[in-house]
Amino acid sequence: MKYILVINCGSATLKFKVFEFLNLEEVLSGIVERVGLPGSFVELRIKNQELRKSVRARNHEDALKIVLLQIENCKLKIKNFSIVGHRVVHGGEEFTKTTLVTPRVLQKLKKYNKLAPLHNPANLMGISACQKLLPKIKNIAVFDTAFYLTLPDYAYTYALPYEFYSKHGIRRYGFHGISHHYVTLEAAKKLKRPLKNLNLITCHLGSGCSITAIKNGEAVDTSMGFTPLEGLVMSTRAGDVDPAIPLYLMRELRISPQEIDKILNNESGLLGISGFADMREVLVAAGYKVAEFEQKNKKTKKQKNRLALLALKIFIYRVQKYISAYAGILGGVDAVVFTGGIGERNPTVRGLVMKGLKLLGRPKVLAIPTNEELMIVREVKNFKS
C-alpha cells in the first residue's frame, strides 16, 4: 500500500499526517513541538490512541528524523511513500499552483522568506530536510497564496506608484489560503448548495488571523496583504496600523527597521495590549469563563484585567469591521464561517463577533474545523507535472 506524507512546518513545530494514497484516509498524525528549544517532545495520534514522549529536536532535520522513526515504529515502511506534500505560505506571483520542488525551485522560494518571515523559512527548512533524508521521494509544495489568484486587480493593487507593483511585485497576496479553501468547500457541503452559487465570509482566527470574502465560490478580497501582517489584530501581530506610525517611531525614538519589524510581528496584537498572547488567557483575564482551561496566574491585577478587556474589544471590533465591509461588497452573505484555533473552538468569541452585527438575510453561522493537511494531500494527489 502506498502513502503520502504531509508536512506543515512552523518556526518551532513540525506537524505531519500520513494518508493512504488511494482513498486519502488518514492513518497517522502528530507533531514535534519546541523544535530548536529545550523540552522538545513528539505527540502521535493513531487509531484513536495518543502518545507523547520527550525527544531531542535541535532543528527541523532532527524533527523529521523523529517523525520518520515514529512512522517506521507504526509498521509503515518509508519505501511505500511516494510523495511528501508541504505547506508553503508565500509563493508570490511566481508560484501560483501546486509545484514540484527541485533544488532550483527551492532556491527561488527563498526570496519570499523576507515577506513571510514567521513562516516561509520554516516551510523551506522542512522541504530541505526531506530532500536530504528522503532523496528519492518527490516534494510537492502547496501555496497559501495560490487561493487568491481570483482577486480582481482593484482589490490586490495598493495605491502606491504603480511601478512598485510592476517592477517589485508589491501587491496584496493573501494568506491562510489552504485553510480558507478547505472550509469554503466544507461550507458548501453543509449548506447543500453548489459552491458557484454561494457568497461566504470565512474567518480564520488563530495565532494568525485573516478574513476572506468569497463570491460565487471564489476569493475576491482578503484581510492579509503583501505580508501576513496586515488586517486583523492577532496573537502578536499588530494588523492594520497607520503606515506613518513606523516612520514616526523610527524618526522620533530612533528605532531601527529591524526593531520595528520585531515590534509589529512579535510584540503587538493581543500580547502588546494585554500581556497575553493566548486568547484563552485574554478571556479569563477579561472576566469570561473558558471551559477546560486553567490560568497559571489566577489572580491578575486590576490593570491587567482592564487591558485584557480592551484587547478583547479591539480584536472583536476589527473582525466585525471586516465582516461588515465584505458583506457590503458581496451584496449578500449566505454564511459566516469560523475556523482556526479561536474561530472553531471558542463559542464566546464567535458570539461576541456576531452580537451587534446587522447583516442582511441573517446568514448562517458555521464553525468548521480546518484541515490544511487534507487540503494539501488532495492537491498533491491531483498534481500533474
The residues that are catalytic are 144
100 CB-near residues (< 8 Å, 6+ apart): 138, 139, 140, 141, 383, 385
Q: Show the cell assigned to 219.
A: 476569493
- SS3 breakdown of the chain: % helix, strand, coil, rounded to 5? 40, 20, 40
Nearest to 279 by CA among 232, 234, 339: 234
Strands (E), the chain: 3-9, 13-20, 26-33, 41-46, 49-54, 81-88, 99-100, 138-143, 199-205, 209-215, 218-222, 335-339, 364-367
Is residue 200 within 8 Å of residue 184, measured between CB atoms?
A: yes
Identify residue 276 by its one-letter amino acid code: F
CB atoms within 10 A of CB 338: 26
Instruction: Look up residue 170 and give its three cell numbers.
Output: 508589491
DSSP assignments along 44-110, one per residue: EEETTEEEEEE---SSHHHHHHHHHHHHHHTT--GGGEEEEEEEES--TTT--S-EE--HHHHHHHG
Which of 196, 251, 206, 256 minimizes the C-alpha distance to 228?
206
Query: 182: closest CA among 12, 337, 364, 22?
Result: 337
- Chain center to CA of 125: 17
